[in-house]
Amino acid sequence: MRARNIIIPLIAVAGLAGGGWYWWQGQQDRLPDDIAVGNGRIEAEEVHVATKYPGRIVEVLAEEGDMVTAGQVLARMDVAELEASLARADADIAQAKEEVAEAKADIVQRQSELTFAEQELGRALFLIRKGHISVELADRRQSERDIAKAAVAAARAHLASSERAVDAAEAEARRIRTQIAEAELRAPRDGRVQYRLAEPGEVLDGGGRVLTLLDLTDVYMTIFLPTAQVGRVSVGSEARIVLDAAPEYVVPATVSFVAAEAQFTPREVETRTEREKLMFRVKVKIDPGLLRRHTERVKTGLPGEAFVRLSADAVWPDRLAINLPPAP
C-alpha cells in the first residue's frame, strides 16, 4: 500500500511535467498572426552552358563542383573546318580588293578616253561650222564620245560591284571569326558547376548542353501561402529562412515574387471555405551580398521553412532573430 501511495504521485508529477513540456513546445511553435510560414527547399538559379553551333567537343575544362567565374573558358569545340573556311574568306577578301584596284584604274583610263573623245567632238563641231569636214565625220566623233561615256559608267558600276564583293567577303570572315570565338564556351556568370553533361569527342547539335551552373548569388526558397495570408504579402516584404539541417541559424531574406494566380485551385470556387483553399506561390530570396560572403556554405536542395512578415509593424519572435554562421 505504501509503495502504491508513492508511485501514484510520481505518475501524476510525470504526467504534469510531460503535459507542461508539450504545452511549452506548442508555445514555442506558435507564431504571431502577422507572420506566415511555409515549407520549401533552397534553390539556386540554373544557367546552362550550351553550344551555339553544331560541332564536336574537343575538351571540357570544368568538373562538377568547381567554382567558376564569369568569362572563364569551360569547354572548347573543334574549329579546324572553321579555320579553313576563314582562310578561304581572307583569300576572297584579297581577291575582291584587287578587283577594286583594277576597277579604279579602269575608271581612270576610261575617263581619259572620254576626255579625249569630247575634245575630238568639240574640234569636229568647230570645223563642220567652217565647212572643213563632213557631217559624217562629226557624227563619228559624237558616237566615239558616247561610247567613251558609256565605258566610264560601266567602269564605275564595276567598281561599285567590286566594293560590295569586298564587303561581302569581309562579312563572311567576321561571321566565321564569330563562330570560332563561340567555339570557346565561357561561363556567363559566377557560379558552381552542378552537372557535366558532355565529354570530349561528343558531337552536339546547336544548343547542346555541356555544363549546368548554379548562380550562388541568386538563391531562394519557394513556399505556398493561403489566400488569407498572401493578400498581405508584397514584393520586398521582410522574411527569414531556417533550414532543417542547421536550425540554429536564421537567415534574413526578402520576398521577391508573389504569384498573381493560385497554384492549387478547386474546380469550382463558390464558397468562402473553398476560396480559402487557394494557395499562391511566393519566392523568398536571400541577399546576394550575404551569399557572396558565404558562398562555400551554400547548398541547394536543403529543406526548411521560410517565415514572412505580413505587416511592417510585426515583431519577430526571439527564435527568429537573425543568426548567421561565421564567415569563412
- Interatomic CA distance for residues 126 and 151, integer angstroms: 25
Q: What is the pLDDT of residue 276?
A: 57
pLDDT digits (tens, 9 = 90+) for 213-250: 999 889 999 999 988 898 899 999 999 999 998 899 99
- Interatomic CA distance for residues 316 and 312, integer angstroms: 11
Three-state DSSP state, 185:
strand
> Which of 209, 216, 296, 306 has the alpha carbon at shortest distance from 255?
306
Q: What percent of the chain has pLDDT over 70?
A: 86
Q: In order of start, what are the domains of the chain with their CATH numbers?
A: 31-45+215-320 (2.40.30.170), 50-78+188-204 (2.40.50.100), 80-182 (1.10.287.620)
Three-state DSSP state, 242:
strand
Three-state DSSP state, 220:
strand
Decide if pLDDT at 66 tops 50. Answer: yes
- DSSP output for 124-169: HHHHHHHTSS-HHHHHHHHHHHHHHHHHHHHHHHHHHHHHHHHHHH
pLDDT digits (tens, 9 = 90+) for 3-50: 444 444 434 434 433 343 343 334 345 788 899 999 999 999 999 999
The pLDDT of 61-86, averaged and rounded, is 95
Q: What is the pLDDT of residue 264?
A: 62
Decide if pLDDT at 124 tops 90. Answer: no
Cα-Cα-Cα-Cα dihedral sign, residues 223, 229, 233, 237: negative
> Biggest alpha carbon distance in the chain?
165
Q: What is the pLDDT of residue 33?
A: 86
Decide if pLDDT at 267 tops 70. Answer: no
Decide if pLDDT at 65 tops 80. Answer: yes
Any residues with CB less than 8 A from the CB of 142 and at least 6 apart, and which?
Answer: 121, 124
Q: 60: part of which helix (H) or strand (E)?
A: strand 55-60
The pLDDT of 64-92, averaged and rounded, is 95
The pLDDT of 158-169, averaged and rounded, is 92
- Mean of the per-residue pLDDT values of the chain: 84
Q: Which three cell numbers stand for residue 197?
A: 553533361
- DSSP output for 2-48: HHHHHHHHHHHHHHHHHHHHHHHHHHHH---TTEEEEEEEEEEEEEE
Any residues with CB less than 8 A from the CB of 313 and at least 6 apart, and which?
Answer: 34
